[in-house]
A and B are shown apart, each in its own frame.
Chain A
Amino acid sequence: MTNALFTIPGFAEGRLIGLLLLILIFVLAINFMGQAKLPYIRRVPALDAIEDAVGRSTEMGKPVVCSYGCGGFDYWTIAGLSILGYVAKICAETDTRLIVPTGGSSDSYIVREAAVDLVRNAYTAAGKPEAFNEDDMPFLSGEQYAYTPGYVGILVREKPGTTIMTGSHWSEAMNIAEMANGVDSITITAGCYTSNMAALACASDYIMLGEEQPAAGAYLSRDPAQMASIRVQDIYKFIAIGTILVGLIAVNLGSDIINRLLST
């Protein structure tokens, strides 16, 4: 382990910089969440693809399948729910049938209730509460590999015009994306794990890579909290890039000051 620059005995030994960075996150997040003017987030290209794809499904008279992931209330699921709300709104306005397979993990029980409320509210807001059908949001299983064939079965039977997979999908994402491709559905996915992204990029027609998904979710929801998250992450990415560059220069000049600073 590299020697720290200095230590304060009994207080965040070896973790002081981590503590300061955490406090900075808190300050920045609370600051941006409280601002009246929302931070700027560019429109993610996949959102245009979602609108076009749902439009195509409407013209062909085929349903849209949209899932928000298998995880619990984590970072990706919240983004997935925002996108689901948007898709539900478009489907409600265009009278397109929306199917939302739910499940996939033991944490998915909790999220399902929020998803059902979200879709119901979208239909109510579009003035078509009677069009909402909870049977089109089947809970397939709390087990990932039981959820997968259930989802694939829905794709094969219903032959959707569009399949949108957002949120946190794990190894089943490949199964589902490839099968969606097999039933000639436009496949729009979001890769949230390094292991998944490469495979999904091959199988999907459009993909939101990593951070594009939460950014899309924040853009659609216009929720100040979500937009503040994206802004804070961007700031930290710049801090990380700056630290890496300074560290590179320092190491090449024979100094380990950045290593020692980060170990403080």
Chain B
Amino acid sequence: MNRMADEGGIYKKMATYDKRWVYLALFVIVLYSLIRPIGMPIGISAQTKAYKAELDTLQEGDIVFDTWNMEFSGYMELKPGVLATHQMFIEKGVKLCIAFGHYEGVALPTEVFKQLRTWLDDYDYTEGEDYVIIGYVFPNEAAVAALAGDFHSNVRVDWKGQSIEGTFLDEIQNAGDFDMISDYTTGLATTFIIRHIVLEYDTPMVVNSIGVSVPGHLANLDAGLITALLASTRGGAELEYLINSPGPGLKSMDAFTFGHYSLIIFIIIGNIGHYGWTRRSEYKDRTGIR
């Protein structure tokens, strides 16, 4: 054992492995789990249950400000939550005013509503009647503030140039008239919405956020600025489970699990190598004892 440590051996390999092994292992594990999911159980967090409970308070005819503050890359992470949330909205008969915080949002509705086609047909959920897409209206904070204060002065047509007059949006004078804000965010206009709508009009807001932004949003959640938070792909998968509608989230949870466990294994390997070789080498260098 000592001879192995002296020469390095397996401990040295464990301490100094090439990171490309990590990439390869992660790639193979995640890919295999996505192609052949096992369907392992998942735990449901209290946060997701609270998110669903908040959406359950909506009644038919309520008007929700649906803010898509995400690019396409962020949508890939938020997809399960976006689809599951919109399924709930469609089933409840909630009216949606969809706004984008990024120019890539222009292509998002095509993608999202393609996935929701079954629900749209089953519940006869139509554009213009049940949902209106007002387009890319949040390029900056001033735009959010302007729209919040006077909706119809700032938005007169939808994303295709058709007038919004005569739709359910006639009831909206300012952002306080919305019954809820449903935000899907990679960190774009969410803070602006909190400042100019939530703080001003006390409109309840639920947020579906990418994983890296969750710690930042937890403070808002704790302060009551956000009423519920759905965290990343995993939160979306949990919501799919709760509404009994398996989708892309649940399918990817095996990959999620194995990916995390493989990272933990690499960390353990690195630490074994650290104690078996790196620390001994540093000790020898420091004391001169061989």
Contact = CB atoms under 8 A, between A and B. Distances in A.
Interface in A182-237: 182, 193-196, 199
Contacts of A193: 216
B213 interface: yes
A171 interface: yes
A238 interface: no
B187 interface: yes
B212 A195 contact: yes
B73 A195 contact: no
A75 interface: no
Nearest to A181: B19
A199 B215 CA distance: 13
Contacts of A182: 19
A170 interface: yes
Contact of A145 (B73, B213, B216): B73
Interface in B171-222: 187, 202, 212-213, 215-216
Contacts of B71: 145
Contacts of A194: 215-216
Interface string B214-245: 01100000000000000000000000000000
B238 to A, nearest CB: 21
A58 B212 CA distance: 36
Contacts of A196: 212
Nearest to A182: B19
A171 B73 CA distance: 11
Nearest to B211: A195
A193 B213 CA distance: 9
A30 to B, nearest CB: 25
Contacts of B212: 171, 195-196, 199
Interface of B: 19, 71, 73, 187, 202, 212-213, 215-216
16 contacts: A1-B202, A145-B71, A145-B73, A170-B187, A171-B212, A182-B19, A193-B216, A194-B215, A194-B216, A195-B187, A195-B212, A195-B213, A195-B215, A195-B216, A196-B212, A199-B212
Given A182-B19, A193-B216, A195-B215, 13 more contacts: A1-B202, A145-B71, A145-B73, A170-B187, A171-B212, A194-B215, A194-B216, A195-B187, A195-B212, A195-B213, A195-B216, A196-B212, A199-B212
